[in-house]
Chain A
Amino acid sequence: MVIGALTWSVVAPLLAGVLCLLPGRGARWFALLGALVPLAVGLAALGDFARNPGADFRMLESVPWSTALGANWTVGVDGIGAAMLALSGLVTAIATISAWKEARHPRAYHALVMLLLAAMNGVFVTLDLLVFYICWEVMLVPMLALIGVWGGEQRRYAALKFFVYTLAGSVLMLAMLIALWNRTPAGGRVVAVQQVEVVAHSHDSGATLHGLKVEARADGTRTVTVPRGFDIRHLQLQWRWWQSEHILGVSLAAFGFVAVLLACLVKVPAVPLHTWLPHAHVQAPTAISVLLAGILLKLGVYGLYRVGWPLFPVQAQQWGLAIGVIGLIGILWAAWVALGQRDLKRLVAYSSVSHMGWCLLGLAGLTAAGATGGMVQAVTHGLGSSLLFLLVGVVYDRAHHRDVDGFGGLAKPMPRYGWILLIACLAGAGLPGLAGFVGEAMALFGTFSAGGPFPWLGALAALSVVLSAAYMLWMLKRVAYGPLRHPEHAAYPDLDARELAATVPLVALILLVGIWPSPLADALRPSCEALVTHVRSALP
């Protein structure tokens, strides 16, 4: 049997992880290779979606796993999955470069990173909810170890906090999973399907839909028989049933929606479920912070796009405003908290929380622009916050502290650092021409055109252009500008080759996406548009 590209994007990191454990000094090279495979696969898929936009899943593979459960190793990506896959490969490669000189148990370290990457990629490529959930939980283990062993002084507290929060968030998801399976008849369920759905997702002119045979009825309607199982696409077809089934007095859909929402909001993280993040970031080593901010947070957004909204569209619409408000509060509150931070890493961590709020706000308004913007924001934030964490790591390596007020004037001895930090901060402040602007503008304009009370949320969220400029550029001023505050900083070396290798690709991508965002947006838009249409049509 031939293993397909998407499966390789999970298997390659796993293999690399095993190779990392071999004695010798090859671990980092294996890790880099293990990250480059999903990057290549993701970029290829993303390129395909940019050239031929579509809302369908491509590069599909399906291997039966448990016929009793109806679980399969089904993988496939749409534009969203492709972008996430490319991002996770890229960020992991960069994190590996930045941890090139990891001295403490390097083999175990790189092996754990590879396990983490495999689990994350599993989430991004799988179309099976059981596999999704398993990967979702598996990634906690390497992360717990990476923070708990390689972290700073309070690493055990931070690691445990991260673990408890995310586990508590996702436990309900398991309950939902079981409930969904439990309420599907053993022989499957006959579901009427819309012509549009068939057209959008069939590669064989309507004979099958998501691998199921389409049957034309005498009265002109079409149906498919959905087997009992975990295929997300099949579960989505049954959204009306989740709506009418009840458990514990609430509809299964409401229960499931809350379960997914909770699991994802902890990961995003949304205020007030965010306080694990500053601890985790501050204690984690630089490369792990990069992984955390660059990919792990996106899983929350991805979960909402892939599971929460498709499976439970009625709730997504009913709760839209509340989720928009949560996003808005996150944007503003975290920005203010960032203004009050003295620890560089915590400042950047809160900027992450603020920026991720745009993903929620964009999605909540249910416009094509907003939903696409939320996803673009997830990608661009992955680039921007990774860069910022790397740059914080650069000064931490030299000064061994992260106190914002303990620097000053670093642009003089470290000019390259000064310029790259400027670009990172301007991207964080959402300057047009840099990646950070694209997602925010799309999410904002989407919110403005969403109607109802959403323009109010947009108008308030627009204040964040002031706050983000303030905390980003104020940090820049205190770190890089003004006179050299400490004479010993004059001897700090500028970015070396390894640090440049980690940061320059991100700078280039931030510029590229900022100047020419349409390939990325075009790849993401059809899926987001289809999602919005699906949700909006559920409750006219």
Chain B
Amino acid sequence: MIPAWLAPTILLAPLGFAVLALLAPRSRPGLAHAAGAAVMAACTALAVWLAVAVVPHGAAVQGAHVPWLDLGGFVLGLGTYVDPMGAIMTVIVCLLATFVLVYNAWYMHDDEQAARFPWQFCLFVFAMLTVVLADNLFMSFVGWELVGLGSYLLIGFWSHKPAVADDADYQRLKGAGARGILEDRLSPAHAQLKAFVMNRIGDAGFLVGIGALIAAGTLAGGVREPLTWGNIALIAQGGGLPGTFLGLTGADLLTLAALGIFCGAVGKSAQFPLHTWLPDAMQGPTTASSIIHAATMVAAGVFLVARCYPFFTPDALAVVGWIGGITCLLAASIACVQWDLKAVLAYSTVSQLGLMFTALGAGAAAGGQAAGISHLFTHALFKNLLFLCAGAVIHACAGSQDLHRMGGLARRMPITAIASGLAVLAIIGAPFFSGFFSKDAVLAAALMHAEEAGGAAWGPFLLACAGSLLTAAYMVRWWIRIFAGHERDHGICHHAHDPSWYASAVLIALMPFTIMFVWSGWLGHALGAPHGEAHAHAHHSAMMVASTLLLGGAGFAIVAFLLKPGLSEVLARTLRPLHVACAELWGIDRLWDLLFVRGVGAGLGRLAALLDLGSRDRLASLEGAAPFRLRDVLSLDGVIDGIGRACGGIGRAGALLHDGRIGLYLGVAAIVGAAVLLLGVLW
């Protein structure tokens, strides 16, 4: 029996802490971190209790539910809903939050803003748990927007920094030969804005998706709360929905709702074409990135799609699979040629999220849902570990993030090297590591779906395979460049050391989760992964494919970056166009900047402003009796002024008045006169 207060307590404790920490004096950042970690540790314990109670039974538990807003006809409510997927996610979020707070106490020990971190971070955790524990789609949306706020605040943690083009430290320490980054724009303040606005593009679709479900629910005949998971499932089961929304009915309407939700997921989970905000988000503290932009928030899109699976029609799933596959390969190709160690991890996150969507696109029957969520969970742990290790390396190298200058750090920071080595083995899917287990499930699901559906369904599978091959290559390269070989730049590396004992303890504590057996025994069962002969066969084939890809990718990286260091340069020269395209991020960042920031945003905005009020010249000369110019008629305000002046002109001609400014008054007179005339008619 689960107490009713359990899930709400886990949800609200971080919020309560955030409010207290916000109001408390900021003189003791260490204490604030410790208190925050204690709160999150307690939440973790409660979450484990919750998970132990929920997961074995496999049934969802609906907690307390309160109406939030009555819209007359239907109600939006708030409440908690815990199923195995949500329970495990809750444990992971709370656990990682505890670790990150402990780690951050070391990471920011000499940052004067450190006291700001715990409350902003716990506010984010609250928002994330809202997404996970929500019992209806509306509450998910609220959490969804609030994680956006958390992300916004933490990316902009150092929002006073200038653009990197003007940042001497950045210029000194950046990766040589790094290209494709718009240096005159990139700054924490810009990155937080970009992240929020690009997320909002997806959210516009999310809102339309919600609208489709509300319309379906209200048209279906007075469903009191059309957005609870239960009612959504009922609406979806109905299949043929009554009424129309945006001209669509029945299954098409469901597809629209699904694609709307997926639109939001594309924004939040940084999928092509909205992926460009995530690499920029690395402007925030690495510790914040480790959980927000790697482990949990960006995976919220995957989580939500899995949550909304009942109304994802085959058409919608095909889109999900393709977008996932394309993103997986695209981001992996970019990660291969990055020199910034965080940029590699950022693009690898984008790529791995694409892999999760590829799995989800395979459909529940092929095991796609369970596979996608399994990979979400294992990825959350090992990617968090990778980011914390990256933070330790950056800290050790005096702020440098350049893979050119590192190397041989394994001797100076063994714990970090081992931890990140395990995490790399996990992400590339080496046997007996967690990634092996979940990536095999992903590929098996995609393969099985491709075999069943045939034709275009092979696309996502092949893209995911290519992405996995590259993942093995660039992650091994990453580790080799940092930890293996000789010291390339003694000036940067000579002070390097492992983080303090408690931060190292966090790294050690995260290590076991990279091992396969922590997960493999129970996770598939908990998530209800289907099994049977066909599935076993798919798993077998996928394992062969994955092992081949792993050997190919990792082997190449070992040869090219460790054994024959010249080889990579030769390859880069031979495949120059491809290399440049990847290094330039396939031009997507630049194109979006041109099209949307300069074009649709600033450009159209300026044009609209011009059409609305006219030029600055016109605005500056409004008060005086400046003669009316024809070009003023090009603006709306100018047209209306022109009408006023015309009325004035008529009046002036009649009354032989002289003062030009009286024109407007005469306009009034004309209108009043017309009204009087009208009254005369009426009387």
Contact = CB atoms under 8 A, between A and B. Distances in A.
B211 A458 contact: yes
B59 interface: no
B671 A411 contact: no
Contacts of B610: 340
Given A168-B668, A172-B675, A445-B211, A426 B149 contact: yes
A446 B211 CA distance: 9
Given A336-B608, A448-B211, A482 B246 contact: no
B150 to A, nearest CB: 11
A341 interface: yes
A247 interface: yes
B602 A465 contact: no
B624 to A, nearest CB: 9
B71 interface: yes
A369 interface: yes
Given A369-B74, A426-B149, A462-B207, A164 B159 contact: no
Interface in A433-475: 433, 437-438, 442, 444-446, 448-449, 451, 455-456, 458-459, 462-463, 465-466, 469-471, 473-474
B145 A473 contact: no
A529 interface: yes
Nearest to A332: B608
Given A171-B671, A279-B622, A517-B69, A455 B608 contact: no
Contacts of A339: 601-602, 604-606, 608-609
A481 interface: yes
A385 interface: no
Interface in B516-555: none
B623 A275 contact: no
B200 interface: yes
B295 to A, nearest CB: 23
B622 A340 contact: no
B564 interface: no
Nearest to A448: B211
Contacts of A489: none
A432 interface: yes
Interface in B179-217: 187-190, 192-193, 196-197, 200-201, 203-205, 207-208, 210-212, 214-215
A504 to B, nearest CB: 14
A445 B68 contact: no
A433 B146 contact: yes
B197 A466 contact: yes
Contacts of A470: 197, 200, 601
Given A275-B613, A411-B159, A462-B207, A171 B72 contact: no
Contact of B208 (A174, A442, A462): A462
A477 interface: yes
A175 interface: yes
B612 A481 contact: no
A477 B161 contact: no
Contacts of A272: 636
Q: Chain B binding site: helix, strand, loop or mixed by DSSP?
A: helix
A459 B613 contact: no
A409 interface: yes
A525 interface: yes
Given A164-B668, A463-B204, A482-B162, A448 B73 contact: no
A368 B70 CA distance: 10
A431 B149 contact: yes
B656 interface: no
Contacts of A437: 145
B679 A178 contact: yes
Interface residues of B, number: 76
B145 to A, nearest CB: 5
A369 B73 contact: yes
Contacts of B640: 275
A518 B68 contact: yes
Contacts of A167: 668, 671-672
B675 A174 contact: yes
Contact of B623 (A157, A429, A451, A483): A157
Contacts of A153: 623
Interface string B145-182: 11001001000100111110010000000000000000
B650 interface: no
Interface string B660-673: 01001101100110
A337 B612 CA distance: 7
Contact of B664 (A161, A444, A456, A481): A161
Contacts of B231: none
Interface in B277-316: none
A445 B623 contact: no
B216 to A, nearest CB: 10
A179 B682 contact: yes
A167 B149 CA distance: 43
B243 A451 contact: yes
B193 A474 contact: yes
B644 interface: yes
Interface string A332-371: 0100111111000010000000000000000000011100
Q: Chain A binding site: helix, strand, loop or mixed by DSSP?
A: helix
Given A154-B623, A279-B622, A368-B71, A466 B201 contact: yes
A477 B208 contact: no
Nearest to B211: A448
A518 B246 CA distance: 30
A318 interface: no
A278 interface: yes
Contact of A368 (B73, B141, B142, B210): B73
Interface string A500-540: 00000000000000000110011001001100000000000
Contacts of B141: 432
A240 interface: no
Given A248-B681, A340-B607, A449-B73, A465 B675 contact: no
A469 B203 CA distance: 11
B608 A156 contact: no
Contact of A455 (B196, B197, B245, B661): B245
A31 to B, nearest CB: 29
B605 A336 contact: yes
B605 A525 contact: no
Centre residue among A174, A449, A517 by max chain B CB count within 10 A = A449
B615 interface: no
A71 interface: no
B1 interface: no
Contact of A444 (B187, B207, B607, B665): B207
Contacts of A449: 73-74, 211, 214-215, 218-219
A483 B160 contact: yes
B152 to A, nearest CB: 8
Nearest to A474: B193
B350 to A, nearest CB: 21
A402 interface: no
Contacts of A469: 196-197, 200
Contacts of A194: none
A341 B609 contact: yes
A96 interface: no
Contacts of A412: 160
A377 interface: no
A221 interface: no
Contacts of A340: 602, 604-610
A325 interface: no
B637 interface: yes
21 contacts: A157-B622, A160-B664, A171-B675, A178-B683, A333-B612, A339-B601, A339-B604, A373-B71, A448-B211, A449-B74, A459-B211, A462-B211, A463-B204, A469-B197, A470-B197, A471-B605, A473-B192, A473-B193, A474-B193, A521-B69, A521-B70
Given A278-B613, A338-B605, 13 more contacts: A168-B667, A168-B668, A333-B612, A337-B612, A339-B609, A369-B73, A426-B149, A432-B142, A462-B205, A462-B207, A463-B204, A470-B200, A481-B189
Ordered nearest first, which 8 A-B pairs have the shortest CB separation? A368-B72, A339-B605, A340-B605, A340-B609, A448-B211, A481-B189, A369-B71, A275-B637
